[in-house]
Chains A and B, each alone.
Chain A
Amino acid sequence: DAGVIQSPRHEVTEMGQEVTLRCKPISGHDYLFWYRQTMMRGLELLIYFNNNVPIDDSGMPEDRFSAKMPNASFSTLKIQPSEPRDSAVYFCASSFGYQPQHFGDGTRLSIL
């Protein structure tokens, strides 16, 4: 079975550019999560969706970050404009109900 699929795996871009991270959850899962992992702050939840509806976006750092889930099989996390401090590994995870979350391989983002 396919797991959570994230793209791209690596992204290097210049400050000020728009960045779009993509996620395909596991088929049948009704929850989708976006996390950010940095050395300084560890693993932190940015936002999560239930049945494509955003439930908690309190972890989204600022208005430069936005996330959408137009359907059950796709979600995006956008950063516009990007800044060097956004450099991190971004994970997408999905789950069914209260079952354990399954993570994608992450996107390693570097903003120069």
Chain B
Amino acid sequence: AQKITQTQPGMFVQEKEAVTLDCTYDTSDPSYGLFWYKQPSSGEMIFLIYQGSYDQQNATEGRYSLNFQKARKSANLVISASQLGDSAMYFCAMREGRNTDKLIFGTGTRLQVFP
């Protein structure tokens, strides 16, 4: 089974609108961390936001927020007020367990923001 699943290969959103990128995960370990990274067309990987499995509140970082639904094992990224510069690939990743720093990445979602 896939550890991290991103079911949306591509998404379109109009500038200034909000968009949600889906991510579901699979683990039996009670301790884990969830990450989102952005990869623009220039190729670099940019860390956006982190959610720990024991965090009580959803993580937020500026226009990014993580809709963490533990029972459903989902960690969707919400981008508010989309900008043209948000067009990029977005990857969800999981660190599983307490004794590793290893990340497992999903296949990514390509977001295109149009005027």
Chain B residues closer than 8 Å to A45, beta-carbon distance: 102-104
Contact of A91 among B35, B45, B107 (CB under 8 A): B45
Contact of A98 among B44, B101, B106, B107 (CB under 8 A): B101
Task: Determine how close the nearest CB of chain A comes to the CB of B37; give it in whole angstroms.
Answer: 8
Q: Are A42 and B107 in contact (CB under 8 A)?
A: yes
Contact of B50 among A31, A48, A100 (CB under 8 A): A100
0 or 1 for each of B32-66: is its CB under 8 Å from A? (1 = yes): 01010100000111110010000000000000000
Q: Are B47 and A102 in contact (CB under 8 A)?
A: yes
Contacting B at CB under 8 A, from A30-58, are: 31, 33, 42-45, 48, 50, 55-56
Q: Are A42 and B108 in contact (CB under 8 A)?
A: yes
Q: Are B47 and A98 in contact (CB under 8 A)?
A: no
Task: Determine how close the nearest CB of chain B comes to the CB of A106; give it in whole angstroms.
Answer: 5
Q: Are A108 and B107 in contact (CB under 8 A)?
A: no
Chain B, interface residues (CB within 8 Å), range? 20 to 34
Any B CB within 8 A of the CB of A101:
yes
How distant is the Cα of A33 from the Cα of B101 in the complex, in angstroms?
9
Contacting A at CB under 8 A, from B85-114, are: 91, 95, 100-108
Contact of A31 among B37, B101, B106 (CB under 8 A): B101
Q: Which of A55, A100, A102 has the most chain B CB atoms closer than 10 A to its own CB? A: A100
How distant is the Cα of A33 from the Cα of B44 in the complex, in angstroms?
15
Q: Are B33 and A98 in contact (CB under 8 A)?
A: yes
0 or 1 for each of A77-112: is its CB under 8 Å from B? (1 = yes): 000000000000101010100101111111010000
Contact of A43 among B46, B47, B101, B105 (CB under 8 A): B105
How distant is the Cα of A89 from the Cα of B45 in the complex, in angstroms?
12
- Since A45-B103, A45-B104 are in contact, a sample of 19 more A-B pairs with Cβ atoms closer than 8 Å, ordered by chain A residue number, is A42-B108, A43-B91, A44-B105, A45-B102, A55-B100, A55-B101, A56-B102, A95-B101, A98-B101, A100-B35, A100-B47, A100-B50, A101-B35, A101-B47, A101-B101, A103-B37, A103-B45, A105-B43, A106-B45
